[in-house]
Amino acid sequence: MIIYNVTVNIDDSVHEKWLEWMRTKHIPEVLETGKFLKAKMARVLVEEEMGGITYSIQYTAENREILDQYYAEDAEIMREQATKLFGNKFVAFRTELAVIEEYSAHRLNATEYLFTYGTLQQEDIQLTVFSRTLSGFSDTLSGYKLSDEKVVGIYPVMQNSDIPTDFVNGRVYMCSNKEILDVDKYEGPAYKRIKVTLNSGKSAWAYISSAPQSN
């Protein structure tokens, strides 16, 4: 991937007109050339000695060859349009960035609600999993029931119910995103984590059986 970055300082006197033109006309037309996969515009958070407001517009091309096609076939026309409309009211310079690798983070919310109905309500288990004890509140989850079969014959497990009036009573705790991932490890492959809406209206994580349900 190649990022074609255009940094523009635009004079205050035409800033609003230029910004509207960029959003509604120029950037869409650049993308319509078919040379770029996406575009992103950001305001540069600095006070320029020269005055004006500075923006960075980044266009992502699949490779160098396609970017060169844009230079050869489209770039001059696009620049002429900007000059015709805004004359000497802006200064622009361009840079090219080669993308080496891309990374993304799987993020949960900073605070998560966890609905529990078994051993996670026990203080000794909480100390093992969270290195602390938790304070929580009682709540109910409708449309689920505790299975007649326990995991390894000991641990309760919740499953969907075809009877809307079925419910499971439990305790709700607030946990960090890291702690939720620690619970995943504690529960193991016999359970899977899902998002549920409790009778209180709160959205919470809960663990149900990972085994296929019989009809």
> Looking at residue 111, what is its pLDDT?
83
The top-level CATH class assigned to 111-209 is: alpha beta
| Contact between 120 and 205 (Cβ < 8 Å) | no
Annotated domain spans of the chain: 2-98, 111-209
Rounded Cα distance, 35 and 39, in Å: 11
Residue-wise pLDDT tens digits, 19-38:
999 999 999 999 999 999 99
- pTM of this prediction exceeds 0.85: no
DSSP string across 156-170: --EEE-S-TT-EEEE
The CATH classification of domain 2-98, taken from the options 3.40.190.10, 3.30.70.100, 3.90.1280.10, 3.40.980.10 = 3.30.70.100
Rounded Cα distance, 32 and 24, in Å: 12
**172 exposure class (CB count in 10 Å sphere: 0-12, 13-18, 19+):** buried
| Contact between 207 and 187 (Cβ < 8 Å) | yes
Q: Identical fold at 2-98 and 111-209? A: no
Q: What is the pLDDT along the chain (215 residues), one digit of tens a residue?
A: 999 999 999 999 999 999 999 999 999 999 999 999 999 999 999 887 888 999 999 999 999 999 999 999 999 999 999 999 999 999 999 999 999 988 766 555 558 899 999 999 999 999 999 999 998 999 999 999 999 889 988 999 999 999 989 999 999 999 998 899 999 999 999 999 999 999 999 999 999 998 876 55
